Protein backbone atom coordinates (compact mmCIF):
# COMPACT_ATOMS: atom_id res chain seq x y z
CA UNK A 1 0.00 0.00 0.00
CA UNK A 2 3.03 2.27 -0.48
CA UNK A 3 1.33 3.84 -3.49
CA UNK A 4 -1.58 5.07 -1.36
CA UNK A 5 0.66 6.12 1.49
CA UNK A 6 2.76 8.25 -0.87
CA UNK A 7 -0.32 10.18 -2.02
CA UNK A 8 -1.05 11.42 1.53
CA UNK A 9 0.52 14.80 2.34
CA UNK A 10 1.98 15.43 5.78
CA UNK A 11 1.76 18.95 7.22
CA UNK A 12 4.08 19.31 10.22
CA UNK A 13 2.86 21.22 13.27
CA UNK A 14 -0.75 21.58 12.07
CA UNK A 15 -3.11 22.49 13.67
CA UNK A 16 -0.77 22.65 16.68
CA UNK A 17 2.96 22.24 17.26
CA UNK A 18 3.90 18.55 17.51
CA UNK A 19 1.00 17.25 15.37
CA UNK A 20 1.82 15.70 11.99
CA UNK A 21 -1.38 16.35 10.06
CA UNK A 22 -2.03 13.54 7.56
CA UNK A 23 -3.82 15.40 4.77
CA UNK A 24 -5.84 13.02 2.58
CA UNK A 25 -6.97 15.81 0.21
CA UNK A 26 -3.98 14.91 -2.00
CA UNK A 27 -5.16 11.26 -2.07
CA UNK A 28 -8.72 12.32 -2.91
CA UNK A 29 -7.43 14.57 -5.71
CA UNK A 30 -5.56 11.70 -7.35
CA UNK A 31 -8.04 9.67 -9.44
CA UNK A 32 -6.14 6.36 -9.16
CA UNK A 33 -5.57 6.77 -5.44
CA UNK A 34 -9.18 7.72 -4.66
CA UNK A 35 -10.50 4.71 -6.57
CA UNK A 36 -7.91 2.39 -5.04
CA UNK A 37 -8.66 3.56 -1.49
CA UNK A 38 -12.40 3.03 -1.92
CA UNK A 39 -11.89 -0.37 -3.60
CA UNK A 40 -9.59 -1.49 -0.78
CA UNK A 41 -11.95 -0.27 1.95
CA UNK A 42 -14.93 -2.19 0.53
CA UNK A 43 -13.06 -5.32 -0.57
CA UNK A 44 -13.83 -7.49 2.53
CA UNK A 45 -17.52 -6.53 2.45
CA UNK A 46 -18.32 -7.11 -1.23
CA UNK A 47 -21.15 -9.63 -1.21
CA UNK A 48 -21.73 -9.30 2.56
CA UNK A 49 -25.07 -8.10 3.91
CA UNK A 50 -24.47 -4.43 4.67
CA UNK A 51 -27.50 -2.14 4.96
CA UNK A 52 -25.90 1.27 5.56
CA UNK A 53 -22.61 3.12 5.58
CA UNK A 54 -22.24 5.80 8.28
CA UNK A 55 -19.70 8.56 7.59
CA UNK A 56 -18.23 10.88 10.20
CA UNK A 57 -18.21 14.62 9.33
CA UNK A 58 -16.53 15.78 7.21
CA UNK A 59 -13.91 13.64 5.44
CA UNK A 60 -15.87 10.50 6.33
CA UNK A 61 -18.67 11.83 4.09
CA UNK A 62 -16.47 11.80 0.98
CA UNK A 63 -15.09 8.30 1.54
CA UNK A 64 -18.29 6.91 3.08
CA UNK A 65 -20.43 8.14 0.19
CA UNK A 66 -18.17 6.39 -2.30
CA UNK A 67 -18.09 3.20 -0.19
CA UNK A 68 -21.91 3.19 0.07
CA UNK A 69 -22.21 3.62 -3.69
CA UNK A 70 -19.82 0.73 -4.29
CA UNK A 71 -21.71 -1.57 -1.88
CA UNK A 72 -25.09 -0.44 -3.23
CA UNK A 73 -26.31 0.51 0.22
CA UNK A 74 -27.57 3.65 1.93
CA UNK A 75 -25.41 6.42 3.42
CA UNK A 76 -26.10 8.13 6.76
CA UNK A 77 -24.22 11.13 8.17
CA UNK A 78 -22.87 11.49 11.70
CA UNK A 79 -22.49 15.24 12.28
CA UNK A 80 -21.31 17.83 14.75
CA UNK A 81 -24.02 18.99 17.13
CA UNK A 82 -26.76 21.21 15.70
CA UNK A 83 -26.34 20.35 12.01
CA UNK A 84 -28.97 17.63 11.52
CA UNK A 85 -32.50 18.97 10.99
CA UNK A 86 -34.67 16.09 12.25
CA UNK A 87 -34.90 14.27 15.59
CA UNK A 88 -31.43 13.14 16.71
CA UNK A 89 -29.56 11.03 19.24
CA UNK A 90 -26.41 12.74 20.53
CA UNK A 91 -23.29 11.77 22.42
CA UNK A 92 -20.49 13.81 23.93
CA UNK A 93 -16.92 12.60 23.76
CA UNK A 94 -13.55 13.69 25.06
CA UNK A 95 -11.06 15.57 22.89
CA UNK A 96 -7.47 16.26 23.84
CA UNK A 97 -8.68 19.59 25.27
CA UNK A 98 -12.34 19.60 26.35
CA UNK A 99 -15.31 17.75 24.90
CA UNK A 100 -17.36 17.75 21.72
CA UNK A 101 -20.75 16.41 20.73
CA UNK A 102 -21.90 14.46 17.66
CA UNK A 103 -25.34 13.45 16.46
CA UNK A 104 -27.17 11.03 14.20
CA UNK A 105 -30.77 11.08 13.05
CA UNK A 106 -32.94 8.82 15.18
CA UNK A 107 -34.26 7.09 12.05
CA UNK A 108 -30.85 6.83 10.30
CA UNK A 109 -30.63 3.09 10.93
CA UNK A 110 -33.19 0.57 12.08
CA UNK A 111 -32.74 -2.03 14.83
CA UNK A 112 -30.73 -4.98 13.49
CA UNK A 113 -29.38 -3.20 10.42
CA UNK A 114 -25.75 -3.93 9.64
CA UNK A 115 -23.74 -0.73 9.34
CA UNK A 116 -20.15 0.04 8.32
CA UNK A 117 -18.59 3.13 9.87
CA UNK A 118 -16.16 5.17 7.72
CA UNK A 119 -13.75 8.00 8.52
CA UNK A 120 -10.46 9.13 7.01
CA UNK A 121 -8.20 8.49 9.99
CA UNK A 122 -8.18 6.85 13.41
CA UNK A 123 -5.92 8.37 16.06
CA UNK A 124 -6.98 7.85 19.71
CA UNK A 125 -10.26 6.31 18.58
CA UNK A 126 -12.34 8.73 20.67
CA UNK A 127 -14.35 9.99 17.69
CA UNK A 128 -14.97 6.51 16.30
CA UNK A 129 -15.89 5.09 19.72
CA UNK A 130 -18.58 7.78 20.09
CA UNK A 131 -19.86 7.03 16.57
CA UNK A 132 -20.04 3.28 17.32
CA UNK A 133 -22.01 4.03 20.49
CA UNK A 134 -24.46 6.26 18.59
CA UNK A 135 -25.13 3.52 16.03
CA UNK A 136 -25.52 0.94 18.78
CA UNK A 137 -28.02 3.23 20.55
CA UNK A 138 -30.16 3.00 17.41
CA UNK A 139 -29.96 -0.79 17.69
CA UNK A 140 -27.73 -1.12 14.61
CA UNK A 141 -25.03 -3.76 14.42
CA UNK A 142 -21.68 -2.15 13.59
CA UNK A 143 -20.22 -4.72 11.21
CA UNK A 144 -16.90 -2.89 10.78
CA UNK A 145 -15.11 0.43 11.16
CA UNK A 146 -12.96 1.47 8.17
CA UNK A 147 -10.27 4.14 7.92
CA UNK A 148 -7.71 4.99 5.28
CA UNK A 149 -5.08 6.00 7.88
CA UNK A 150 -4.17 4.39 11.21
CA UNK A 151 -1.93 6.08 13.78
CA UNK A 152 -1.21 2.87 15.69
CA UNK A 153 0.89 4.52 18.41
CA UNK A 154 -2.28 6.24 19.65
CA UNK A 155 -4.17 2.99 20.22
CA UNK A 156 -7.47 3.80 18.51
CA UNK A 157 -7.73 0.54 16.64
CA UNK A 158 -7.44 -1.48 19.85
CA UNK A 159 -10.18 0.64 21.47
CA UNK A 160 -12.62 -0.09 18.66
CA UNK A 161 -11.74 -3.78 18.55
CA UNK A 162 -12.35 -3.93 22.32
CA UNK A 163 -15.96 -2.91 21.54
CA UNK A 164 -16.25 -6.05 19.40
CA UNK A 165 -16.09 -4.10 16.12
CA UNK A 166 -13.61 -5.30 13.45
CA UNK A 167 -11.35 -2.52 12.13
CA UNK A 168 -10.01 -2.10 8.59
CA UNK A 169 -7.22 0.38 7.86
CA UNK A 170 -5.10 0.79 4.72
CA UNK A 171 -1.94 2.68 5.70
CA UNK A 172 -0.19 3.47 8.98
CA UNK A 173 2.04 6.30 10.16
CA UNK A 174 4.17 6.21 13.30
CA UNK A 175 3.73 8.87 15.97
CA UNK A 176 1.03 11.52 16.25
P1 LIG B 1 -9.40 10.47 17.26
O2 LIG B 1 -10.76 10.75 17.84
O3 LIG B 1 -8.29 10.84 18.20
O4 LIG B 1 -9.28 9.05 16.75
O5 LIG B 1 -9.21 11.45 16.02
C6 LIG B 1 -9.78 11.13 14.80
C7 LIG B 1 -10.33 12.34 14.09
O8 LIG B 1 -9.46 13.47 14.17
C9 LIG B 1 -10.52 12.02 12.62
O10 LIG B 1 -11.78 12.54 12.22
C11 LIG B 1 -9.37 12.70 11.93
O12 LIG B 1 -9.80 13.30 10.74
C13 LIG B 1 -8.83 13.73 12.91
N14 LIG B 1 -7.37 13.60 13.16
C15 LIG B 1 -6.77 13.27 14.34
N16 LIG B 1 -5.42 13.27 14.26
C17 LIG B 1 -5.15 13.60 12.97
C18 LIG B 1 -3.91 13.75 12.22
N19 LIG B 1 -2.70 13.54 12.77
N20 LIG B 1 -4.00 14.07 10.91
C21 LIG B 1 -5.21 14.28 10.33
N22 LIG B 1 -6.39 14.16 10.97
C23 LIG B 1 -6.38 13.81 12.27
pLDDT at 156: 97
pLDDT at 101: 97
Looking at the 3D structure of the chain, how many domains does it have?
1
Distance from the alpha carbon of residue 144 to the mean position of ligand 1, in angstroms: 18
Q: What is the 3-state secondary structure (H, E, C) of the chain?
A: CHHHHHCCEEEECCCCCCCEEEECHHHHCCHHHHHHHHHHHHHHHCCCCCCEEEEECCHHHHHHHHHHHHHCCEEEEEEECCCCCCCEEEEEEECCCCEEEEEEECCCCCCCCEEEEEEEEECCCHHHHHHHHHHHHCCCEEEEEEEEEECHHHCHHHHHHHCCCCEEEEEECCCC
Query: How large is the average pLDDT for residues 82-104?
Result: 94
Q: For the whole model, what pTM was predicted?
A: 0.97
pLDDT tens digits, 104-135: 999 999 999 999 999 999 999 999 999 999 99
The number of the ligand 1 atom at minimal distance from the alpha carbon of 59 is 12
Distance from the alpha carbon of residue 149 to the mean position of ligand 1, in angstroms: 9
Residue 103: domain span: 2-172
- Whether 141 is catalytic is no
CATH code for the domain of 70: 3.40.50.2020
Distance from the alpha carbon of residue 128 to the mean position of ligand 1, in angstroms: 10
pLDDT at 96: 72
- Whether 49 is catalytic is no
The number of the ligand 1 atom at minimal distance from the alpha carbon of 93 is 2
pLDDT tens digits, 4-39: 999 999 999 999 999 999 999 999 999 999 999 999
pLDDT at 176: 81
pLDDT at 153: 97
Amino acid sequence: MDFLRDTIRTIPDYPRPGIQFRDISTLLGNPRAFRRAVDELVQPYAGARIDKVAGIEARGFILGGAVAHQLSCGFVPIRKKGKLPHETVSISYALEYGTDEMEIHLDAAARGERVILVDDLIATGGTATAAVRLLQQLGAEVAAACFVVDLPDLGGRARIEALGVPVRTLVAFAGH
